[in-house]
Amino acid sequence: MTDLGDALWQAAVIMATGMVVVFVFLSILIFLVHLLAKFAPADQIEEPTAAKPAVTQNQNAIKPDVIAAISAAVHQYRQAKSTS
């Protein structure tokens, strides 16, 4: 078995090496992102076009016969539930 001091020293060297590698990688990544931001064109914001015409109330309204059918179905359901 090796000396505990040697094992701790080797662990510290491996940890420091890993931290340096990650730091260097992230630094290069940040540099490349900034470089890309300088060369890539910025997104152009499109100006809004003419407003769409307002939808008339009749197009979105529920037809009266549909409302009547739903009301009749709810009424029948409630009557069936109350008698059970």
pTM recorded for the entire structure: 0.45
CA dihedral (69, 74, 79, 84) positive or negative: positive
CA dihedral (25, 28, 34, 39) positive or negative: negative
How far is the C-alpha of 28 from the C-alpha of 34, rounded, in Å?
10
pLDDT, residue 31, reads 97
pLDDT, residue 61, reads 81
Domain boundaries, the chain: 1-42
Q: Is the pLDDT of residue 41 over 70?
A: yes
Confidence of residue 59 (pLDDT cuts 50, 70, 90): low
